[in-house]
Homo-oligomer: A and B are copies of this chain.
Amino acid sequence: MAQQQGGGNETKGIATRAEDYSQWYLDIVKRAELAEHSAVRGCMVIRPQGYAIWEKLQRELDDRFKATGHVNAYFPLFIPLSFLAKEEQHAAGFAKECAVVTHHRLKSLDGKVQVDPESKLEEPLVVRPTSETIIWNQYKNWIQSYRDLPLLINQWANVCRWEMRTRLFLRTAEFLWQEGHTAHATEAEAREETLRMLGVYADVAEHVMAMPVVQGAKSEGERFPGAVESLCIEAMMQDGKALQAGTSHFLGQNFAKASEVQFLSKEGKLEYPYATSWGVSTRLMGALIMTHSDDAGLICPPKLAPIHAVVVPIYRKDDEKAKVLEEAGKVCAELRAKGLAVKLDDRDLHPGAKYYEWEMKGVPLRIEIGPKDLEKGSLCLVRRFAIEQEGESEAEQRKRKKSFVARAEALASVPALMDEMQAQLLERARNLRARRTRVLDSLAEFEAWFKGEDDGGFAWVHWAGGRAEEEQMAERFKTSIRCIPLEGQYPAGAEGPGTCLLTGKPSARRVVMAKAY
């Protein structure tokens, strides 16, 4: 069966990362059937294979939101134009990418269906790009006293930002997300909430997605429109670029004031509550793909894999078929009894075609069962990946992924194997990040790295510039401040104060600079 496992990448229909990283990403999204473009400019279709991963991710997030005291609710898709305009910075931030509903009826004119001009709305409605303004308008009814606080609400929804340059999962005109919107009696509580939810995101990124992240604050120029402070988690993709994977904002009293929401404090005074908002979106799917996948297709961490193992029966003759299928069915049942999601692929296709397909789709484990395995009482386990070892050939690695194990032992080993693969993916991603992380002190070193052959990586540099200097760096190197890391996020040797690499001014702490998605 060797011919089915090797082969150039042309046969897989995907570019290699080395050839064309950007095309590789799109090929994976397409060939693993995760998403595709629709007929509506910038709007994607999330295909069942992609949606199943998203559903698992949603469940992991939602469980954690509930465990931290949040409840779900649902607010309108539409926002009256005047609402969006209430918070000035907010309106300015989203004005350029709003889908606007202006009419509410169609009619047939000259045999053609058209917008009925007589159905024009008195006030245009914006399809929500985010829901602060419509939600805070509702909070006015719900918040009267300190007893009503904190108010801890999350919404799962679709939102719309009319992006001009779209990219499946990473930047689309419509995307799915969750947005938490909380109200608190004090600034300290709200700031604590902002941090707590950032921590939830970091936990899911690292321990569910197996994707290490740096937690930090955005610089002024990258702040959410209307926020006092924006926190974020930043992940590194395999090409060394950063991807903002989630944000948690401390909004101060800005939205409470814009919506005139006040509460009677314990002391009997009218006060404005403090707000937070926090969100992650289907963008995480893009991050997941780019963190782990290889030139053979998607690699999905076991905790998010809709299918943990696929069982492929192998036979040539009809009498073999019956026996092999019987054993395959038993193996599936036994694994399912352990709580694993198992697929029996008994389609009438050549086994090699099945191997390709399930590798492409990122199933962590393949179990091959043929007549010889029946004889020997063993199973052939093939892991989706093995951590690369230095100087190893492709053939050697392939061998390391495959093992023939006595049946009982093999079945017993699968749950632990899933845990092991989950841990290995995180370790591998951490190693990749470490290899592309540098603590830099001079602009010359910075320039050499980011203007070199690759796209650099995470540069931990001292910074004391303002928005103008940030723009200067962006122009010269296409880099931006990804975040000003929180305490505890600094790698060894990167802590403490220093001197800004651009301006030479004193800097209290390093920031992370990188090219970004």
Contacts and interface: CB of A to CB of B under 8 A. Distances in A.
A115 interface: yes
A36 B47 CA distance: 34
Interface residues of A, number: 64
A97 interface: yes
B104 A162 contact: yes
B108 A95 contact: yes
A203 to B, nearest CB: 22
Interface string A77-114: 11111011100000110111111111111111000111
Interface in A488-503: none
A205 interface: no
Nearest to A162: B104
Interface in A332-364: none
A220 to B, nearest CB: 21
A335 to B, nearest CB: 18
A158 B99 CA distance: 16
A427 to B, nearest CB: 32
The 10 closest A-B pairs by CB, nearest first: A43-B76, A48-B71, A95-B106, A46-B74, A85-B113, A104-B162, A100-B103, A102-B102, A38-B76, A40-B76
Interface stretch (A119-127, A273-281, A317-325): A119-127
Interface in A107-154: 107-108, 112-115, 119, 124-127, 134, 137-138, 141, 153
Interface string A143-173: 0000000000100011010100000000000
A174 interface: yes
A80 B39 contact: yes
Nearest to A106: B95
24 contacts: A36-B138, A38-B137, A39-B80, A43-B77, A45-B76, A51-B72, A76-B174, A77-B174, A78-B99, A78-B174, A81-B113, A91-B113, A94-B106, A95-B105, A95-B106, A96-B105, A96-B106, A97-B104, A99-B101, A100-B103, A100-B115, A101-B127, A102-B115, A127-B127
A88 B317 CA distance: 53
A228 interface: no
A55 interface: yes
A162 B124 CA distance: 14
A92 B108 CA distance: 8
Contacts of A417: none
Contacts of A94: 106
Given A46-B73, A81-B115, A99-B104, 16 more contacts: A38-B137, A39-B83, A40-B78, A40-B79, A43-B76, A45-B74, A45-B76, A51-B72, A51-B73, A77-B127, A77-B158, A85-B112, A95-B105, A96-B106, A101-B127, A102-B115
A176 interface: yes
A496 B289 CA distance: 61
B160 A77 contact: yes
A75 interface: yes
B113 A106 contact: no
Contacts of A102: 100-103, 115
A304 to B, nearest CB: 15
A21 to B, nearest CB: 25
B99 A38 contact: no
